[in-house]
Amino acid sequence: MTLKFDFQRPERTGLPEAVFCHGKDIKILNSILDTLGKKKTPVLLTRLNQEKYQSLESGIRKSLAYDPASETAYFNKGPVLKMNQEKIHRSPETYPVAIITGGTSDSKVALEAQRTLAFMDIESCIIMDVGVAGLWRLQESLSEIQRARVAIVCAGMEASLPTVLAGLIKAPIIAVPISQGYGVAEGGKAALMSILASCAPGLLAVNIDNGFGAACAAIRILNCE
């Protein structure tokens, strides 16, 4: 049972080396990180909740730059990371990527996207809580969104926000359905269907709650010039 890592992926695809931690047991996770630690490969850990983080081997845990709000950690990332972290908290200016959310419940996914971008030294801003049930909130942030080269839109419930935005901006829009909600909204299927069925041309969807995937797609787009 030898693990086979894919150390050349960053070169080929321009994407971060990442370990998806959900569903992996602690023993396997420790052994993966041990191997990666020796290779000094910078690695992004996603879906690492606090409980799992706490149960990692203490040596490994200490070497991680862990962020509980996004459930991500940086491993072997080096000094670049710190500088970038500061940038992402700056006041609203022009960013290559704007991350927009319809409600405050979508923050974890938005932060996962932001941390993934930051891992690749790409700055982004988060514009939160601009759901279309109150259009003026969107209007206030519109010019900021229009300056971005890529928009990532996190939207749960009926997910109207990406559709409305698609009529207002020129940039590519990566819509992330969010699993928030209850009844027919539960699990994010309604939001996903809404995004895919949208009458607004040119919307792009990723899997439900997949902030990491949305950021990777944004990286591909920014790399494509």
Q: What is the 3-state secondary structure (H, E, C) of 62-123?
A: HCEEEECCCCEEEECCCCHHHHHHHHCCCCCCCCCEEEEECCHHHHHHHHHHHHHHHHCCCC
The residue among 6, 199, 191, 10 whose CA lies nearest residue 109 is 191
DSSP H helix total and E strand total for the chain: 10, 9
State which residue, 61 or 189, has the beta carbon closest to its own copies: 189
Query: What's at 93, amino acid-wise?
Result: E
State which residue, 77 or 79, has the beta carbon closest to its own copies: 77
What's the min distance (Å) between Cβ of 65 and its own copies? 19
Contact 168, 135 (CB under 8 A): no
What's the min distance (Å) between Cβ of 78 and its own copies? 21
What's the min distance (Å) between Cβ of 38 and its own copies? 17
- The first and second tokens of residue 71, run together, are 């459930």
What's the min distance (Å) between Cβ of 155 and its own copies? 9
State which residue, 2 or 62, has the beta carbon closest to its own copies: 2
Burial class (CB in 10 A: 0-12, 13-18, 19+), 51: exposed
State which residue, 77 or 162, has the beta carbon closest to its own copies: 162
Who contacts 52 (Cβ-Cβ below 8 Å, separation ≥6)? Answer: 21, 26, 29
State which residue, 22 or 82, has the beta carbon closest to its own copies: 22
State which residue, 44 or 64, has the beta carbon closest to its own copies: 44
Measured CA to CA, the distance from residue 218 to residue 172 in angstroms comes to: 9
State which residue, 79 or 164, has the beta carbon closest to its own copies: 164
What's the min distance (Å) between Cβ of 142 and its own copies? 11
What's the min distance (Å) between Cβ of 206 and its own copies? 7
DSSP tag of 13 = H
What's the min distance (Å) between Cβ of 79 and its own copies? 25
Contact 146, 124 (CB under 8 A): no
